[in-house]
Amino acid sequence: MKFRTIRATSTAVVLTGMLCTLATAPAQAATPVGWEGAALSLSAAQQLSQGDGVTVAVLDSGVYADHPALKGKVTTGPDFFKDGLKAGDPKWGQHGTAMASDVLKVAPKAKILSVRVIDDKHEEERTQEELEEAFRKGNNPIADGINYAVQNGADVISMSLGSDNLFSSYDEDEAAALAYAARRGVTVLASAGNAGDVLNGASYPAGYAGVIAVAATQQNGTRADFSSVHTYNDVAAPGVDIISATNAGGYRQGNGTSPACALAAGVVALMKAKNPKLTPAQVNSVLTATTHRPAGGGSAVLGYGRINAAAAVKAAASPPEDKTAPVAYKGKEHLATPDGTPKTTHPEMDQSLWLTGLIAAGVGLALLAGGVLLALSGRRKPTPQAPSLMRPQGSYPG
């Protein structure tokens, strides 16, 4: 993602993926399908469903709706990022157009709802003035975009964006918007993050409860080097050498957990078209139960494994029972009726122990501060309240 207001300054790490530009070919009616088609068992899945009647909200940098692969399939929503760029500008819609084409590559009869919540810049390309201006706006485009998508008919929300921050960037507005989406039965997916070969920091929105976090695989089925390794990973999808549409009308090849998320969102659209009554919990259960399980089972590397679209669509017709339900808040301090059980208490810690721990903690913080200052030396230093801006989780520059 590009924008997030947080209470502490965060250091963001950006993976710069390699990009190979394809020669601009004559206009095509659909985005070319590469190795990801066989990896996802896409042909068999599309014999069962095409995504008819399903709307996928692509929360991104905007979508070039007149691209031959997208024409007639995109509804353009509001621009919550509000940076003054408009459709037609070469800096508008690079990443979002690619993601919309990846969704439709999987679910060709689905509809796209484009909601602009980020731009196409990476954080290191931003000036200090741009960071401060984003902070002064005070809005949260991600939360606004989720709420808008839910209120305007989205069945699935795809967010190929993330923060990859060293420190947590949890946001209450976004969590509330995601809870609203869950209550309304809207399935939400997000890219797991592209910091896998650096820090594997937490990436939001993938890290929020209820969001299906999608990691990226390479052609042999193993984790792509950049794909973040984290306990919130649910499933994986192809994310290397994926051909996607550009905002100039052509096609381009790129890498990232961005295309992996968009492809996964397309699979969910196939599932929802097959069974419109699927709840978010059922979608997650079916996806994770039908994957190509990695050796050793599920892990923080690829979650429960690479998606099998054909198996997922077939299983969507008879999903497991959804046992999730809202829990009423009762009592002043507990989620259930208080029964007189006292709070847990602990004996006082021996003074020498806590003093030793306090001193050790102080030394550790001093060393950490020194390391951070050294790492930031010579680089642009943000103000104490500068936001950590969200960004696309893929390499799709113009």
* SS3 (DSSP) at 238: strand
Phi, psi torsion values for 84, nearest 5 degrees: 95, -15
- Find out whether 113 and 147 touch, Cβ atoms under 8 Å: no
Going by their DSSP bridges, the two strands 251-254 and 242-245 should be labelled as antiparallel
Residue 362 tokens read as 């102080």
**Residue 114 C-beta-side C-alpha neighbours within 13 Å:** 28
Say if residues 214 and 260 touch (Cβ distance below 8 Å).
yes
233 to 161, 230, 284, 299, 367: CA distances (angstroms): 15, 6, 12, 8, 31
Token couple for 155: 């069945």
Question: Residue 66 corresponds to which tokens in the numbers above?
Answer: 């007149």
What's the CA gap between 217 and 148, in Å, rounded? 31
Would you give the end-to-end CA distance of the chain in angstroms? 18
CA distances from 122 to 97, 161, 246, 395 (A): 17, 11, 17, 10
Helices (H) and strands (E) in the chain, counts: 10, 11
**Residue 214 half-sphere exposure, CB side, CA atoms within 13 Å?**
32
Among candidates 295, 268, 300, 301, which has minimal Cα distance to 284? 268
By annotation, the residues acting in catalysis are: 60, 95, 258
